[in-house]
Structure 1
Amino acid sequence: MLFDDDNTAYTIEPYVSPTRVLRCYICQQYDDHIAAYCPNKDKPICFKCGQQHSYNPDCQNEVCCVHCKGGHMAGNPNCPKKIETRDLKKLQRKSSSLISTNLSYTNRWTGNSARYLFGNSTTTTNNNANDNNRLMEMIDTIHVNIQTVSQQQSDLIKLFNDLSDKTNNQVKETVNINQVLNEIVCPLLKDVTNIIYTQINPQQKQQIKSAHNKLVSYLDHKVFNQSSFTVQHILQSSQQIQAVSPQTTARSDDTNIDMGQ
């Protein structure tokens, strides 16, 4: 009988009731007959002294066992002869019980050979079931993690798209500011500077001539070239951002489709 998963087992044996040894109260013979059927009724044996005489509960002879000649009366539980007779009878009953049990299980191998040959078949089946359950739990965990990563990726794509829209708006605003500077502010500043330079007296012109020439030279050459480059660079950056954003979204959609499949 298997008690737990640690292979703690005990051998099972057929139950044998306590062995009772019969004794004839006339001839004191063990386990053969009872007094009603005693063949030696004319030769009674005293249960106290072991001698041949009629039954006398007040027998004054020395106590002696008729079977082992020990200092006890016939039928004493500690009599060696009675113990031997009881053990022999117990062994006979046990043998008879085993034979009966074996006969009742003559076909125990039919259809169950694997179970009787491999006593741990049930344990093996349970272990396989536990392994399958753990594998399914791992698969479920992986699936949940994939879904979580997919959701995080979708959130990042949305955030990237929002940042791209804000960047495009800022680029457009920067382009507009550059156009205002190049087309309005810089020409106006140049005209105002020229007007002021022509209205002042020669002495004042001499004082600001160096600064005026630098400003005019900067407005004529530096500002417009740098502004044109800046505007062109900003437009190219904006176009690159707009081109990258749809590709990233498309790749993310493809990834989501693959995960779903």
Structure 2
Amino acid sequence: MGNRKSFLLYANSSHQFERLCNKSLWPLTICSCNYIVDIPSKVPTSYSLIATGIPAQWDLTDFELDVKKQYPSIVKVERMLVRGGTPIAKVRIDFSSNEDVQKILKHKRLLLDDENTSFPVQQYYPPFKILRCYNCQQYNDHVAANCPRKDTPICFRCGQNHPYNPNCSNKICCANCKEEHLAGNPSCRVKIAERNKGKSNLITSNGYKSYPTKAAFTAWTTTTNLMFTSDCQPSTTAMAPTSLENSNSSSSIEISKKLDLILNKIDYLTGEHDNLKTNFINVNQQLRSCQETINLLKIFLSEQICPLIVEVGEGIM
């Protein structure tokens, strides 16, 4: 790396990675030479998981101290954020031991120090990045340097065939979905479909498939013939479970996002309620203080000022 005296080491297993990161296992010298070991600042994604149901208003410093009592291999606890930097009820937890991560995922719960409070957990997946060719605007196929259509570029602004021009004055039109936005816009339905497809493939590749379930036959089922036909007779058409799996996975992801937004909104409203309650208490205390001041002023007027006025009046008379 840069010179002959530096080496970048790769681990081919979690056990090997953990041993390489343990400085106490390294020898004092290598070939009678001193050396320095730089440990990676980030852990692999397989050493991370997501804990859900952690209220957004909680102090993660205290939470990290408590959870480390149960899991000393925790390296870092970080709050998850949605677009705009708004915190949600999820935290990412990084470990130095992959074995601890697998145990927690197996039990599906993260325990706190009292062993009575626990939180659901799920596997952490890094944000899925969509690749877009800046020459033809196609998603997840190639980069501009390898674009097979280098001679026929497509404008990112108007979607027409002409060379790159940042000052293009044509009507804005997406090259992929033909709607009125620039290519690569987050709201592009083609981009959203590619993102959902990538997430579904990522989940499937890690062994988390979601299969469509078949409705059980009951006395109220009105599609008896269809059900027996699909179960008992051979089918002449090829099944395509992949599209159904991707659809179900996409639906689950969308539902999860909506639930996160709902939880975030609830946390926000709870915080606003607490703020209003605090403000109400402060206003009430101020009103009481004003009332006490008014009462003292009345006493002063009746006991001091009024008798003085009477005496002055009698003296004048």
Q: Shorter-chain-normalised TM-score: which range?
A: 0.3 to 0.5
Structure whose alpha-carbon radius of gyration is higher: 1
Q: Which has the higher helix share?
A: 1
Structure-2-length-normalised TM-score: 0.29
Q: Which has the higher strand share?
A: 2
